[in-house]
Amino acid sequence: MHDTSQLLTMKYAFNLEWNELPEELREAKIREYILAGDKRDCEYCDGVGEIATAMERGDIKDSKPCFHCNGTGKVDPDPDDLHQQEEAEEEIRIHFPIYF
């Protein structure tokens, strides 16, 4: 049992142009790249883990744990996030095909 991505990788291993790869393969590689990546700073709280609920003279007077990351400030990489897809594709494109 082979997965499609592996077979396509073998088929196109010697193709040196990322943009010439089939879209299906590029999408699979982008997903793989994102999922293999580190946890990311939570975008809702900027990686702080807390969201200010009250400010006083520019200082946080009261805050609550961020609901999005459960107060950890970190979230798992999300391969469905368009921004992360663009970032990942850019990274892959720059290093392609060395880390392919």
5, two tokens? 């991505």
Map residues 42-61 to x or -, x wherever contact with Zn ion holds by CB under 5 A.
x-xx----------------
Nearer to Zn ion, 32 or 41 (CB): 41
d(CA 83, CA 69): 18
Residue type, 80: D
Q: Does 40 bind Zn ion (CB under 5 A)?
A: no
Give the type of residue at 68.
H
Q: Which one, 18 or 44, has the nearer CB to Zn ion?
A: 44
Cα–Cα distance, 26 to 41 (Å, whole number): 25
- Applying CB under 5 A, the span of 2-10, 12-20, 63-71, 80-88 interacting with Zn ion comes to 63-71
